[in-house]
Structure 1
Amino acid sequence: MDIVALVERIGEQPTAALFGLVTGVVFGVAAQRSRFCLRAAVVEFARGMMQDKVAVWLLTFSTAVVWVQGAQMLGLIDVTEARMMAVPGSWSGAVIGGLMFGAGMVLARGCSGRLLVLAATGNLRSVVSGLIFAVVAQMSLTGWLAPLRDWLAGLWITAGGRNMNLLTAMHLPDGSGLVIGLATALLALELSRRNRIGASRLVFASGVGFAAAVGWALTYALSQVAFEPVQIESLTFTGPSANTLMFFLDRTSILEFDIGLVPGVVIGSFAAAWWGGELKFQGFEGPTPMRNAMVGAALMGFGGMLAGGCAIGNGVSGGSIFAGTAWLALFCMWIGGMAMDVALGGRGQPAHI
């Protein structure tokens, strides 16, 4: 791909949006076909099982780590100046926001990325939850909830004016990230073998992790040729959901990677569901599930913005570059999700939803 020619033809901002669209389509197709969802894996694990949901999540995570770390070793990308790494991270935000997001995704029956995928296939529950998530995320970014988010995030931040790279902080040798990714992939494949997961689902689960690497690679490549500064970023849905909402509400908003990402996921997941004959309208079964979904979406909106990213942004994109606060936020999402499932008495909805 001749990025210089593309930029000269359509401009830097449209190119960024196009790259977001491509990344989103890859994620949407892969996530829909693999049934990837952190919430499903957390609920399964909380109930004492290590079955297909955990295996799919581990394979996605490990694939992202392997692709991104391998690309860095080959000099194809450099994420040291990525938005997640170039600014101070918030340890307090990762803990508090991660716990809130984890509890919220169990109540809402899906993390923010999963809700977006389901909404594109006709799930009206996810449409409602997704809109609430986006509104609360925007309120947490620039609205009434922003002061509270800033205060909580400022309680404990990383030293040195940057986020922490865990590999560097632990003085691990070059290639350690790739080794960790490969070891996790082996564990995922063993779990997949034990649970008889088909090859097709494994390929699409790997595709979700590959989508994160695509995002990093495309934005890095654009940053090398663009005249104006370009954020090096990848998959995440807290900020992009808020930004996409404002793009359609405010005519002064500009095109960027985020604006292409969300529509790309919708297009990809819709196409995959249509191809698989899985398009169908679904609604709330009663007042309790609706209340839980609305509360959960609000918790994810604020928690994701406070934590610096959602289950995808921290758990896949941030995890793949070993950002310290991303790993802490991901750990807290697991804890918050498991605690909420226990609080519900393990009577929450099945893990596959």
Structure 2
Amino acid sequence: MDLVPLVERIGESPTAALFGLITGLIFGVAAQRSRFCLRAATVEFARGHMQDKVAVWLLTFSTAVVWVQGAQLLGFLDTSEARMMAVPGSWSGAIIGGLLFGAGMVLARGCSGRLLVLAATGNMRSIVSGLIFAVVAQMSLTGWLAPVRDFLARLWVTSGGRNMDLLAAVHLPKEAGLMIGLLIALLALELSRRNRIGFSRLVFASGVGFAAALGYGLTFALSQVAFDPVQIESLTFTGPSANTLMFLLDRNSILEFDIGLVPGVVIGSFVSAILAREFQFQAFEGASPMRRAMIGAVMMGFGGMLAGGCAIGAGVSGGSIFAGTAWLALFAMWIGGMTMDTLLGGERQAVAA
């Protein structure tokens, strides 16, 4: 793919934003149609079930791993300098942030990516929670909460000035990543068969994982032709939510992949909901759910920034490149979500967001 004419025509920053928009559109449509959500999967698993929510999550995750690892083996992609891999990772941040994020997404009844999708389909509680999430994420990045985040993140970091490549750390061949992805995909397909999940939902679940791989592919391709350094990155919603909020508030902000990503998700989810006749306004059911959602959004905003990514950023994008802290953060999110659901007693919370 020759990107030079496009870059010369509209510029490097607008091209990055355009790629974010395309990635977001695909994610928005696929996530809305598949009802992909880490929170729903963890709650379902915590209650002793391995049904459609777990199957969809596993299929999404495995699809991202297969596409990313396959592209690397074929020489089409190199994620060794991706944003998550090229800087030191925080083990302490992954543990503490992951637990906070996981517990928060259960309280808010949706992870950050799911809240964005639901907000675009008329869910007012997701709009409120999403705004709180973005504000707290920004506070954790550069605001009043940044010193706390920095302190916790520095307690235990990866060595060597980079994140840990799990495959290299355990001396596995490069092909092992693809094989792991295929094995998880087989498990997901077997669970899908047992739960009689429709073909279209499986396709859309795979589409979420493909969007994560596409983000890496597009930013990598841009990095090969751009004059200025371009970060190789993909789907994540902690940083992009904060950056999009600041872009709307600061006229001096510049376009980048993040700025296109969030609007792309909103547009894709909105169009998908309209076409499926699933758009409808929904409000909080009462004061107690509202309080929980707001507390959960705060926990996700701080936890996601501390963990180095949200359920999508660490859980799918980071997991697909086998970043050590991403896998640890994902594990902590599962534990945090399952623990919070157990503490709530599974009471009257529908598994589906």
TM-score exceeds 0.5: yes
Q: Does the 8 A contact of 1:341 with 1:348 survive in 2?
A: no
SS of aligned partner of 1:147:
helix
User: Structure 1 residue 2: deviation in Å?
Assistant: 2.9
How many residues align? The count is 353
Secondary structure of 1:183's match?
helix
In structure 1, give the amino acid aligned to 2:337: G
Deviates more, 1:79-88 or 1:339-348: 339-348
Whether the 8 Å contact between 1:67 and 1:210 is mirrored in structure 2 is yes
Cα distance per residue 1:136-177 (max 9 Å; x no partner)? 000000000000000000000000000000000000012000
Q: 1:307 is matched with which residue?
A: 307
Are 2:12 and 1:26 equivalent residues in the alignment? Answer: no
Q: Which amino acid aligns with 1:240?
A: P
CA offset at residue 351 of structure 1?
A: 1.1
Consecutive aligned runs of 4 or more in structure 1 exceeding 3 Å deviation? none
Using the alignment, how far apart are the partners of 2:65 and 2:95 within structure 1? 22
SS in 1 for 2:224: helix
User: For residues 135-214 of structure 1, what are the structure 2 equivalents within 5 Å?
Assistant: 135-214=135-214
Amino acid of the residue matched to residue 168 of structure 1?
A
Partners of 1:80 and 1:175 in 2: CA distance: 15
Find the counterpart in structure 1 of residue 102 from structure 2: 102
Paired with 2:174 and 2:240, the residues of 1 have a C-alpha distance of 32
Write the distance in 2 (CA, Å) between the matches of 1:84 and 1:279.
35
Q: What secondary structure, in the 3-state scheme, does the structure 2 residue paired with 1:233 have? A: coil
Cα deviation per residue 1:164-196 (whole Å; 9 max; x = unaligned)?
A: 000000000120000000000000000000000
Cα 1:3–1:348 change in 2 (3 A) is: farther
Asked if residue 347 in structure 1 is aligned to residue 340 in structure 2, the reply is no
SS in 1 for 2:223: helix
Q: Distance in 2 between matches of 1:176 and 1:350?
A: 37
2:64 alignment counterpart:
64
Q: Distance in 2 between matches of 1:220 and 1:191?
A: 34
In 2, distance between residues paired with 1:13 and 1:347?
Answer: 47
Q: After superposition, where does 1:115-134 map in structure 2 within 5 Å?
A: 115-134=115-134
The one-letter amino acid of 1:46's match is A
Partner of 2:88: 88
AA partner of residue 228 (structure 2): E
The separation in 1 between residues aligned to 2:264 and 2:271, in whole angstroms, is 11
Distance in structure 2 (CA, Å) of the matches to 1:77 and 1:55: 28
In structure 1, the residue matched to 2:220 is 220
| Structure 1 residues 256 and 285: alpha-carbon distance in aligned structure 2, compared to 1, 3 A threshold | same
In the alignment, structure 2 segments of 5+ residues that lack a partner are none
SS at match of 1:85: coil
Alpha-carbon distance in structure 1 between the residues aligned to 2:263 and 2:75: 30
Q: Which amino acid aligns with 1:231?
A: Q
Map Cα deviations across residues 34-62 of structure 1 (whole Å, 9 max, x no partner): 00000000000000000000000000000
What residue is the counterpart of 1:325 in the other structure?
325
Q: Distance in 1 between matches of 2:194 and 2:112?
A: 29
In 2, are the aligned partners of 1:237 and 1:313 still within 8 Å (CA)? Answer: yes
Instruction: State the alpha-carbon separation in 2 of the partners of residues 175 and 350 from structure 1.
Output: 40
Opposite residue 87 of structure 2, the aligned amino acid is V
Partner SS, residue 225 of structure 1: coil
SS in 2 for 1:83: coil
Sequence identity percentage: 82
Aligned counterparts of 1:197 and 1:104: Cα–Cα separation in 2: 28
Equivalent residues of 1:21, 1:260 under 8 A apart: yes
The 8 Å contact of residues 104 and 296 in structure 1, kept in 2 or not, is answered as yes
What is aligned with 1:74? 74
Name the amino acid aligned to 1:211: A
Distance 1:196 1:128 in 2: 35
Following TM superposition, by how much is the alpha carbon of 1:352 offset from its aligned partner in structure 2, in angstroms?
A: 1.0
Moved more, 11-20 or 339-348: 339-348
Deviation at 1:348, TM superposition (A): 5.0
Give the counterpart letter for 2:310 in structure 1.
C
Contact 1:138 1:243 in 2 (8 A): yes
Letter of the 2:265 counterpart: V
The one-letter code of the counterpart of 1:336 is G
In 2, Cα distance between equivalents of 1:309 and 1:47: 26
RMSD of the TM alignment (CA)?
0.5
Per the alignment, residue 52 of structure 1 pairs with: 52
Distance, in Å, in 2 between the alignment partners of 1:143 and 1:348 is 36
Amino acid across the alignment from 2:327? W
Does structure 2 retain, via aligned residues, the 8 Å contact 1:37–1:111? yes
Q: Secondary structure at the match of 2:233?
A: coil
1:134–1:242 Cα contact (<8 Å) kept:
yes
Q: Report the CA distance between 1:346 and its aligned residue.
A: 1.2
Equivalent position SS for 2:84: helix
User: Matches of 1:349 and 1:268 in 2, distance apart?
Assistant: 27
Distance of aligned partners of 1:71 and 1:348 in 2 relative to their CA distance in 1, 3 Å threshold = farther
